[in-house]
Structure 1
Amino acid sequence: MTHPHATQHAAALADHFVSVILEGDPELLVSNLDELDEEEVRDVAKRLAIFRLALIEELAAQPHAQDEDEDDDCDEA
């Protein structure tokens, strides 16, 4: 069962992960933007957005401890 706020929580977590990577080693996600033309910068931004969305979807699909507790409660009823 998907937690009602799973997508919001996953988005916040994904944003945090992306932020940590960009602060620590940005070349893991994006190339040196100084050397790129405008179209290439847009392509990099698009790839980063696609990565973020995929990360959100995968994180939202993960089971949560709270969900497992709720499932146990349903089994006992």
Structure 2
Amino acid sequence: MSHHRPHAHAIALADHFVATILEEDPELLVSSLDGLEDEEIRQVARRLATFRLALVEALSLQPLDADDDDELDGDDD
């Protein structure tokens, strides 16, 4: 197994987690953007990107089960 595969899986898993949180309860990751100036919105976006990167890095250090791929590939929910 290559180094690329576990990292790619960590990226997919992190994106899945972030998307799920944004769909279910976005205020856990970002505050309301109403009334914010452009620079403040950019700061919120940077913080979200930093969170995603930290999540990818943490997940890439974890032993990931190949069965987790099934959960990310389809929308069976």
- The TM-score range, normalised by the shorter chain, is 0.7 to 0.9
Higher helix fraction (1 or 2): 1
RMSD over equivalenced CA pairs, Å: 1.9
- Give the secondary structure class of the aligned counterpart of 1:34: coil
Q: In the alignment, what sits opposite 1:40? A: 40
Structure 2 Cα separation of the partners of residues 25 and 64 of structure 1: 26
1:1-77 equivalence runs, <5 A: 3-65=3-65
Any unmatched runs of 5+ in structure 1?
Answer: 67-77
Write the distance in 2 (CA, Å) between the matches of 1:31 and 1:65: 33
Q: What are structure 2's unaligned runs of at least 5 residues?
A: 67-77
- CA deviations 1:17-73 (Å, max 9, x no partner) are 00000000000000101221100000000000000000000000002357xxxxxxx
Question: CA offset at residue 3 of structure 1?
Answer: 4.8
User: Which has the larger Rg?
Assistant: 1
Match of 1:71 in 2: none
Q: TM-score under structure 2 normalisation?
A: 0.77
Amino acid at match of 2:46: K
